[in-house]
C-alpha cells in the first residue's frame, strides 16, 4: 500500500510554523506532494526533509516567493522530470514527475484565474496547451497518479453554492468542460471512485467564516490512470488540518 498526500500549503515556511513537520512525522506518508511552496530550493536546508525520512524533489518558480511544487518520497525515484518544456509555465514551477517501478507520480499546480480576467485567460491557455503533454504522459508511462491543486470545481457536488450566478474563475463552464474531458479520456477521479455521491471540500476562502460554515470548493484532486483505477483503496480529506486555506487530500493505493 502507498499513502499519497497532496497539499497546497500556500507557503511552505508559513505551514511549517503551524505544525506541518509534526503532522508529517506522525502520519509517516509514503509520498507528499506540496503545491504553492513559495520558496526556492536554494533557500532550503538540504538536510531538513532527510531528517524527516524523505528525499526532496523541487520545481521552483523563477519569481521569488511564488508558486512552486515539491514532492517528498520515502523511496528514491528511478527518474525525475521537471517542467512541461514550455518556458512561460516552467518559469512558474508548475509540475514535477517522478517515475518508480511500474508507476509514476506527477505533482502539478494548475494556475488560478481568480486574480483577473487576464489570469483566467492565461489559465485557459495553460489547460489547452498542456493537455497534449498530459495525454502523452499517460500514453508513455501508463500507470500515472497526477495530484495537485487544479483550481477547478468539477461537479455541482464539489461546491457549496452551485447555483451562484457571478461566474467566478474556477467554476466556469469552459473549465469544467475541460475537466470532463480529462476524466473521460485520461484519468479517473480517485475520490469519486470510492465516494461517488459524497460532498467534500478541499479549499475554503479566508473570508466570512467560510471554513467554520463549511462553505468550500473541491479543487484539489488525485487523478489516476484508468489502467490502475482499481488500485484505489481509500481516500481522505484531512479537513481538520489548517496550515493553509486548503486541506491535505490523501489517497491510499494498492501499488
Give the residue numbers marked as catalytic. 109, 149
Q: Which own/partner contact pairs does 16-24 have at CB distance under 8 Å and 24+ positions apart?
A: 18/242, 18/243, 19/243, 20/243, 21/52, 23/241, 23/243, 24/52, 24/72
CB 249 within 8 A of CB 224: no
Which residues, in sequence order, are CB contacts of 49 under 8 Å at separation 6+? 55, 56, 72
Residues 222/249, Cβ–Cβ less than 8 Å: yes
All three cell numbers of 228: 490502475
Amino acid at each position: 500500500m502507498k499513502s499519497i498526500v497532496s497539499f497546497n500549503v500556500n507557503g511552505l515556511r508559513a505551514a511549517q510554523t503551524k505544525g506541518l513537520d509534526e503532522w508529517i512525522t506522525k502520519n509517516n506518508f509514503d509520498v507528499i506532494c506540496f503545491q504553492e511552496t513559495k520558496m526556492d530550493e536554494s533557500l532550503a536546508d538540504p538536510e531538513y526533509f532527510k531528517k524527516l525520512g524523505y528525499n526532496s524533489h523541487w520545481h521552483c518558480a523563477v519569481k521569488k516567493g511564488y508558486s512552486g511544487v515539491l514532492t517528498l518520497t520515502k523511496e528514491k525515484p528511478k527518474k525525475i522530470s521537471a517542467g512541461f518544456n514550455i518556458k512561460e509555465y516552467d518559469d512558474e514551477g508548475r509540475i514535477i514527475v517522478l517515475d518508480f517501478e511500474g508507476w509514476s507520480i506527477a505533482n502539478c499546480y494548475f494556475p488560478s484565474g481568480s486574480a483577473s480576467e487576464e489570469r483566467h485567460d492565461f489559465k485557459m491557455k495553460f489547460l489547452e496547451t498542456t493537455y497534449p503533454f498530459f495525454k502523452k504522459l499517460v500514453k508513455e508511462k501508463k500507470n500515472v497518479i497526477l495530484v495537485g491543486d487544479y483550481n477547478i470545481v468539477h461537479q455541482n457536488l464539489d461546491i457549496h453554492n452551485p447555483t451562484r450566478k457571478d461566474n467566478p474563475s474556477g467554476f466556469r463552464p469552459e473549465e469544467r468542460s475541460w475537466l470532463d474531458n480529462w476524466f473521460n479520456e485520461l484519468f479517473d477521479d480517485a475520490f469519486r471512485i470510492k465516494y461517488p455521491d459524497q460532498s467534500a471540500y478541499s479549499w475554503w476562502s479566508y473570508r466570512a467564516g467560510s471554513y467554520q460554515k463549511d462553505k468550500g470548493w473541491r479543487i484539489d484532486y488525485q487523478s489516476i490512470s484508468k489502467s490502475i483505477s482499481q488500485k484505489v483503496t481509500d481516500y481522505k480529506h484531512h479537513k481538520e488540518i489548517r496550515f493553509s486555506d486548503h486541506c491535505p487530500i490523501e489517497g491510499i493505493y494498492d501499488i
